[in-house]
A = this chain, B = another copy of it.
Amino acid sequence: MKKQNWPLEDVRHWLEPGPVVLISSRWQDRQNIMTLGWHTILAFSPSLVGCMISAGNASFDLIRQSGECVINLPDAAIADTVAKIGNCSGDDTEKFEAFSLTAEKSEQVSAPSIAECHGNFECRLYDDAMVDRYNFFIFEVVAARVNPRPAWPQTLHYAGDGKFRTDGEVINRQKLFTKVS
């Protein structure tokens, strides 16, 4: 199934519901993957996403040095992999290899995309003003690709203590929406 481009100004459709994501990064001869639940949409256009990436992670340096990463959206089919990636370190584990994930060439950034994820959102560092104080990176999404099916994948929402919540039904309240978003 070939992923299709997704409108950059509508990345919120995938990230605003709050799923755990996998952040892939590369700098010089190193690449890594980390799990992340601490992110938020900040703007539609430019398409901005804020991510709190702790300086304790091996990914922190790769992202800070390269100024790039890919936000990959996993689904519940790889819940074990998502959990395991969050519980080992890029300092001693080559995660693509260890978890049999495919590092796919990205379009706009040198950081690899994860082929097995439902969506890939390529990011460039937009503002690092809050990195020193809060490890909070503001990224601009510069390319977005998503699997055409399923339209509503089972994503994972982390609640701490080793527990994720998956998604249930879609509640449509379009008729009550008079504003744009």
Stretch with Cβ within 8 A of B (4 or more), from A35-43, A58-66, A106-114? A35-43
Q: Is the CB of A50 within 8 A of B171?
A: no
Q: How far is the CA of A127 from the CA of B52 in the complex (A)?
A: 15
Query: With an 8 A cutoff between CB atoms, is A150 at the interface?
Result: no
Query: With an 8 A cutoff between CB atoms, is A79 at the interface?
Result: yes
Residues of B within 8 A of A127 (CB): 133
Q: How far is the CA of A154 from the CA of B159 in the complex (A)?
A: 14
Tally of chain A residues near chain B (CB < 8 A) = 59
Residues of B within 8 A of A163 (CB): 170-174
Query: With an 8 A cutoff between CB atoms, is A148 at the interface?
Result: no
Interface positions of A from 6 to 47, Cβ below 8 Å from B: 10, 12-14, 16-19, 37-43
Q: Is the CB of A158 within 8 A of B52?
A: no
Q: How far is the CA of A42 from the CA of B131 in the complex (A)?
A: 12
Q: Is the CB of A173 within 8 A of B79?
A: yes
Q: How far is the CA of A118 from the CA of B10 in the complex (A)?
A: 29
Which residue of B84, B154, B177 is within 8 Å of A162 (Cβ)?
Answer: B177
Interface positions of A from 92 to 151, Cβ below 8 Å from B: 127, 129-130, 133-134, 136, 138
Q: How far is the CA of A134 from the CA of B154 in the complex (A)?
A: 31
Q: How far is the CA of A165 from the CA of B157 in the complex (A)?
A: 12
A81 to chain B, nearest CB (A): 10
Q: How far is the CA of A167 from the CA of B134 in the complex (A)?
A: 30
Residues of B within 8 A of A50 (CB): 40, 50, 52, 134, 136
Q: Is the CB of B152 within 8 A of A181?
A: no
